Amino acid sequence: MQVINHFFGQEKKCQVFCRVARNAFTLVELLVVSVILGVVITAVTSCLIAGVRTWDYARKYGSVESDAMIKLETVHRDIANTFRLYSIPFYGGEREVAFPGLVNPVSDDEEMPGIGTIKYFYDAQKKMLFRKSWIFPASEPLDGEAERVLTGVSDMSFSYFELPGKGDGIGIWKEDWNNVTNFPGAVTMDLAFDTDDKRPLVIKRTIMVPAARVPLPEQVQQSNSVTSVKSGP
């Protein structure tokens, strides 16, 4: 009888052990799960790191661009509001532009803006765009008195659109403007900025000049003669 009870007791223990063994994980299953979890964690971490880098780059890129666009509004307003004045012609170079405009008073005694010259010029060594203004007929102030408009500009250039004459098809873009009898139809600024990740930020701004007019044939001839004389040795 004791032998029978011992046999059945051992059988019950074997059944319990087998049932527990069937409910547990094997070493191979644990290794497979560990590998899958490692792959998932690596993928999620890579996505998070890439997202943070993208967000940081967009934030830096957007801050430089938004700051530049805000400050370029001053340049846009000055050029768009220029007007014709015989004593102050419109002059444009590759790195500078000067034109007539309303100049704020220098001293506190003057309350109203006066008519004068507004000049923007780019300093490649300082990587800055400067603004100067002086009331007519005063002379141009020194560069040390210029106002800083934009900083961190790695390169900049102006270009000028010459309106087509009567009967001509299309206008042309020029690197400089020496026509004392007319204004360009538009002025384009090409700016390049340095960023922290060495990726250049390029901004192109085109400004229409309402003071420009379609030149007459004799004005076109005069403009060409002036340009040829100034470009000669």
Phi, psi of 213, deg, nearest 5: -140, 160
What is the C-alpha separation between 157 and 122, in angstroms, rounded? 8
Average pLDDT over residues 59-78: 79
> Does residue 184 sit within a domain?
yes
How would DSSP label each residue in 41-91?
HHHHHHHHHHHHHHHHHHHHHHHHHHHHHHHHHHHHHHHHT----TTS--E
How many angstroms from the chain centroid is the CA of residue 33?
49
Whether residue 30 has pLDDT greater than 70: yes
Residue 30 lies in a domain: no
User: Residue 49 falls within a domain, yes or no?
Assistant: no
Window from 74-78, 128-132, 188-192, 214-218 with minimum mean pLDDT: 214-218
pLDDT digits 0-9 by tens, 102-144:
998 766 566 678 899 999 999 999 999 999 999 888 888 886 7
Total number of domains in the chain: 1
Check: CB of residue 123 under 8 Å from CB of residue 135: no
Specify if 145 maps to a domain: yes
Counting residues of the chain whose pLDDT is more than 90, the rounded percentage is 36
**Average per-residue pLDDT in the chain?**
77
Q: Are 132 and 147 in contact, with CB atoms under 8 Å apart?
A: yes
- HEC states along 97-152? EEEEEEECCCCCCCCCCEEEEEEEEEECCCCEEEEEEEECCCCCCCHHHCEEEEEC
For the full predicted model, state whether its pTM sits above 0.85.
no
pLDDT at 9: 54
Mean pLDDT over residues 94-100, rounded?
96
Range of the domain at 200: 61-216
What's the rounded Cα separation, in Å, for the pair 151 and 155?
Answer: 11
Q: Is residue 203 part of a domain?
A: yes
* Residue 122: inside a domain: yes
In this model, does residue 231 exceed pLDDT 70? no
> Domain for residue 2, yes or no?
no
Tokens of 105: 């008073």
Is residue 5 one of the residues assigned to a domain?
no
